[in-house]
């Protein structure tokens, strides 16, 4: 790891961050801050990048150190770099060790680089940090296949197992939706499903995916777009949603009475209504629903490895 560390001295010298996260406030308040800071538009910042997820809103900079900005917290230098590395490793995630945060940050950094907000040197330094985070994950056994969507699938499977037949709807066509659907496939409970509606912004790729897996089940799947598909919500016994940048899109839609909805979108897409069981990231502790939690010993080991990296940069 020593060779990689040599590339990080410049990074630790320049890095600073304004942040707010679910450890310092509530998820609901965090969501309000993220939206007030133009959540949908603020994908880049000159000389840095932004992390915006359900648990954090963070603005990193490598050229002009941030000053304190209310209501954000502020950190810089070695402490800031340690924070970022801890997030990359998955220690700050609600489901410790999940890999979605690494994918999200990688996407944000790549987008910032392509937009010219990160120069080549800054970009390469961050890639080295990503490499180190992967090494720590592997060394300390800090990877889990669980995430919000797989836990949502477990909840769905339990729900379906208690019913004779259900009509379900999936909203979203990205990585999380596919992981959810894959979990349903492996569970083999399609005898409990009467029909599946699958709604997404773009339907072309989703239709191709459905055509590929159609021979794996006897249930028909209707693929619908966001504008035309909302009418099926009132016919759905259970709904899974993982849709980005669509705060309360289905707030005013009609849901079936006593329907079961798991919305892991951030911000959430569905609204609380009477006689509807709604599970969201903000009202549910998904960690307590995890079946394969990372051991405390592995977490302690990972923290020690991170400390070694940071100490090496300070000497």
Which neighbouring-strand residues pair with 199? 171, 224
Q: Could you tell me where in the chain the CATH 3.40.50.720 domains are found?
A: 148-289
Outline where the chain has alpha helix (H).
2-5, 9-14, 27-36, 77-89, 100-114, 120-139, 148-161, 175-187, 204-213, 226-229, 296-314
126: nearest Cα among 93, 69, 87, 73 = 87
| DSSP code of residue 195 | E
Q: Are 160 and 108 in contact (CB under 8 A)?
A: no
pLDDT in tens, 77-98: 999 999 999 999 999 999 999 9
Which residue's structure tokens are 């499977």? Answer: 157
Beta-carbon count within 10 A of 74 CB: 14
* Average pLDDT, consecutive stretches of 10 residues, N- to C-terminus, the chain (315 residues): 67 91 86 67 72 89 74 92 96 94 93 94 93 96 92 92 93 91 85 92 90 80 91 96 90 94 92 94 90 94 96 76
Please tell me the predicted confidence (pLDDT) of residue 4.
Answer: 54
The CA distance from 255 to 248, in Å, is: 14
Complete DSSP assignment for 266-306: SS-SS---TT-EEEETTT--GGGG-SSPPPHHHHHHHHHHH
Q: Could you tell me where in the chain the CATH 3.30.460.30 domains are found?
A: 2-144+295-314
pTM, full prediction? 0.86
Q: Are 241 and 265 in contact (CB under 8 A)?
A: yes
Question: CATH fold of 148-289, please?
Answer: Rossmann fold (3.40.50)
Q: What is the CATH architecture of 2-144+295-314?
A: 2-Layer Sandwich (3.30)
Please tell me the predicted confidence (pLDDT) of residue 245.
Answer: 82
Q: Are 280 and 268 in contact (CB under 8 A)?
A: yes
């Amino acid at each position: 790891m020593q060779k990689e560390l040599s590339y990080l001295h410049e990074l630790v010298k320049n890095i600073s961050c304004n942040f707010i996260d679910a450890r310092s406030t509530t998820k609901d308040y965090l969501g309000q801050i993220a939206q007030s800071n133009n959540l949908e538009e603020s994908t880049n910042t000159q000389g840095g990048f932004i992390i915006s997820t359900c648990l954090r809103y963070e603005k990193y900079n490598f050229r002009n150190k941030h000053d304190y900005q209310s209501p954000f917290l502020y950190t810089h230098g070695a402490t800031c770099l340690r924070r970022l590395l801890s997030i990359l490793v998955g220690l700050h995630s609600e489901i410790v060790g999940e890999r979605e945060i690494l994918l999200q940050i990688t996407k944000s950094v790549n987008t910032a680089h392509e937009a010219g907000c990160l120069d080549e040197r800054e970009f390469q330094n961050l890639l080295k940090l990503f490499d180190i985070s992967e090494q720590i994950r592997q060394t300390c056994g800090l990877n889990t296949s669980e995430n919000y969507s797989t836990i949502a699938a477990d909840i769905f499977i339990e729900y379906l197992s208690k019913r004779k037949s259900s009509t379900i709807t999936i909203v979203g066509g990205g990585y999380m939706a596919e992981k959810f659907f894959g979990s349903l496939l492996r569970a083999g409970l399609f005898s409990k499903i009467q029909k599946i509606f699958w709604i997404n912004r773009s339907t072309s790729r989703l239709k191709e995916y459905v055509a590929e897996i159609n021979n794996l089940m006897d249930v028909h799947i209707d693929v619908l777009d966001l504008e035309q598909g909302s009418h099926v919500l009132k016919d759905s016994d259970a709904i899974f949603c993982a849709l980005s940048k669509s705060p309360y899109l289905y707030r005013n839609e009609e849901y079936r009475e006593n329907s079961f909805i798991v919305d892991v979108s951030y911000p959430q897409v569905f609204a609380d209504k009477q006689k509807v069981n709604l599970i969201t990231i903000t009202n549910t502790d998904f960690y307590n629903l995890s079946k394969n939690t990372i051991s405390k010993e592995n977490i302690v080991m990972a923290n020690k490895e991170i400390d070694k990296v940071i100490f090496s940069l300070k000497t």
